[in-house]
Structure 1
Amino acid sequence: MVQPSEPIVRRKLSTEVYERLKAMITTGELRPGDQMPSERELMERFGVGRPAIREAMQALGGMGLLAISHGERARVLSLTPRSLFGQVDRAAEIMLTTSPGALDHLKEARIFFERGIVRQAAERAGPADVAALGALLAEQRAALGDPDRFIRTDMRFHARIAAVPGNPIFEAVAESMLGWLRQYHNELLIWSGKENVTLLEHEEILQCIADRDPAAAEASMVRHLERSRELYRHQGA
């Protein structure tokens, strides 16, 4: 009986080099902070030319696994949630620019995400967390009249809430979503009195967290984000 055809697919040399270099990192042969072997050493070790080595190294750099500097050996990086999500920033920017519904989907996803985060924050926040959020609120109040600083502090307030549960993935996701939204914040709307509304809503959210009331914290966050979602628009919208 003839067996089904199982052709062997020949891969690019750079792909093979990439897999071997990645294995050197994932198996612990090379650890975060270590320098990669020189290009010449790798060429001799794998029996390939310089282009295959460079292409593989660039692919690893694009993943955030290597720091590549001109004139220096590449260095192995520690892959963290923050660096992982940072790798999709440019792709997210293109998606938001070219896909008509993507911004609305992102705003909806933010509400879904932050309503759960603030519940955990209300359950787990300690005195230091409440104090840190209070300091950010005071900083935001002092930024009235300075739209750029006001918005940056607003986003730091939300990112700090995401840090309360102690899960670095929560914090990284929050920072990424806030960063993607930042370019769509319509600063002109700041001057219609909404900055004071934002402060009052943040005060309410903080009080719910301090009172360790998850349900009230969630309700306050949802009201705040539903009201403020219109502040994020495409230019000319």
Structure 2
Amino acid sequence: MPRTTTPDPTPTPSGIRRDKIVRRKLSDEVFDRLRAMISSGELGPNDPMPSERELMQRFGVGRPAVREALQSMHTLGLITISHGGRSRVNALSIESVLDGVDEIAQILLSSEPDKLEYLKEARRMFEIGMVRLAAARATEADIADLRAILEQQRGHLDDTRLFIETDLRLHSRIAEMTGNPIMGAVSQAMLRWLTQYYTALVHWSGNEQQTLAEHAQIIDLIAAGEVEQSAEAMRDHLDRSLEMYRHGG
């Protein structure tokens, strides 16, 4: 079985440093080889994976090690296992990677309510930085989209759920305006985690007009290219609105 050496800084009584030899599972070695095949481009998006027999012969291991490695890759979203057909390499994107941790986020946030406060803090810092970029890079088309979304939100005053959904769409659109796909994907993920696992519907009641006014102010500042004032307006808006999110259980 393959072994790897893990440095151990703890000296022995004689002062000699120890480097422990740690045994690795064969499936871990197979996983690393398969991941390298994808990273190097040997296997590209949507390519069929080699058969189990081919992998067994290539790596000189048994079927259990190959199957366990393939299952690990499937769990991480690197490949899709098709029973009765060939497994294929997935086309990865920032969005798909973050989608893959949604279930973990649900469990974490549900089991440890204090983590909600950390998420709210992270979103606050993220969006303040995000709106700075949006204000510096906004186009006329971007501003027109924001104003259209705001008008749609104004039309949902009698439907709290749709009002909130439109609110989140406006924030997502601001993230897209940065031109940074990572920021857009992270914004979508944080908003999804906040709304899917924590209900703010009751707490929004009576705050709709203030929300609309704050959104209008943020859009006007972005349109004017006021980078720092946009950030200040977003900070004030989030300091108020994030308090509306409460743990559902």
Partner of 2:235: 222
Partner of 1:188: 202
Matching of residues 6-25 of structure 1 within 5 Å = 6-25=19-38
Looking at structure 2, the residues matched to 138 and 124 of structure 1 have their Cα atoms a distance apart, in angstroms, of 22
Q: Which structure dedicates a bigger proportion of its chain to strand? A: 2
After TM superposition, where is structure 1 displaced by more than 3 Å over at least 4 residues in a row? 3-8
Matching of residues 1-237 of structure 1 within 5 Å = 6-182=19-195, 183-190=197-204, 192-235=205-248
152-161 vs 192-201, which deviates more? 192-201
Aligned Cα root-mean-square deviation (Å): 2.1
Instruction: Give the residue type in structure 2 aligned to 1:59.
Output: S
SS of residue paired to 1:234 = coil
When the two structures are superposed, what TM-score results if normalisation uses the length of structure 1?
0.90
Looking at structure 2, the residues matched to 118 and 54 of structure 1 have their Cα atoms a distance apart, in angstroms, of 46
Contact 2:74 2:81 in 1 (8 A): yes
How far is 1:169 from its partner? 1.1
How far is 1:5 from its partner? 5.4
Instruction: Give the residue type in structure 1 aligned to 2:200.
Output: N
Looking at structure 1, the residues matched to 153 and 85 of structure 2 have their Cα atoms a distance apart, in angstroms, of 42
Contact 2:175 2:187 in 1 (8 A): yes
How far is 1:79 from its partner? 2.6
Looking at structure 2, the residues matched to 69 and 143 of structure 1 have their Cα atoms a distance apart, in angstroms, of 43
SS of residue paired to 2:91 = coil
How far is 1:151 from its partner? 1.6
Looking at structure 2, the residues matched to 31 and 20 of structure 1 have their Cα atoms a distance apart, in angstroms, of 15
Looking at structure 2, the residues matched to 15 and 220 of structure 1 have their Cα atoms a distance apart, in angstroms, of 50
Long gaps (5+) in structure 1:
none
Q: Percent identity?
A: 52
Aligned length: 235
